[in-house]
């Protein structure tokens, strides 16, 4: 019986697929602002650049350059990956303080669950 358990363990190890990341068509773009919206079926992540370098300038125009649509399950996995990455970053370089987060906390959160984050 002990032999059967070790054989089953080897079979389960063999059934785990190896992931190969193919970056042949990958493109890189810069973003210093993002926003998120969601429905029951999908989560939309918008990336763009804020080119208004003067803080008092109204209105602020954000040039959107990417919209990525993902399932809520993929969004949850992305949340876990980002949380882990940011914990590692902050343990090395210190806490990241965001004005937008503080404002949302003071006003009871963003309306509709959406919020913009600018770096």
pLDDT at 60: 80
pLDDT beneath 70: ranges in the chain? 1-13, 54-55, 57, 100-119
Q: Rounded distance, CA 68 to CA 36, Å?
A: 10
Q: For residues 47 and 118, is the Cβ–Cβ distance under 8 A?
A: no
pLDDT at 9: 56
Q: Rounded distance, CA 112 to CA 44, Å?
A: 14
Q: Rounded distance, CA 80 to CA 35, Å?
A: 18
Write down the pTM of the prediction.
0.64
**Of 41, 111, 32, the residue nearest 75 (C-alpha):** 41
**Of 66, 59, 69, the residue nearest 37 (C-alpha):** 69
pLDDT at 51: 80
């Amino acid at each position: 019986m002990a032999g059967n358990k070790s054989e089953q363990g080897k079979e389960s190890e063999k059934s785990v697929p190896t992931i190969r990341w193919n970056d042949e068509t990958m493109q890189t773009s810069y973003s210093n602002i993002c926003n998120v919206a969601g429905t029951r079926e999908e989560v939309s992540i918008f990336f763009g650049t804020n080119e208004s370098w003067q803080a008092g300038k109204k209105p602020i125009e954000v040039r959107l350059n990417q919209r990525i649509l993902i399932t809520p399950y993929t969004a949850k996995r992305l949340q876990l990956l980002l949380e882990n990455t940011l914990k590692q970053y902050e343990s090395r370089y210190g806490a990241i303080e965001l004005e937008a987060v503080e404002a949302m906390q003071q006003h009871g959160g963003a309306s509709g669950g959406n919020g913009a984050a600018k770096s």
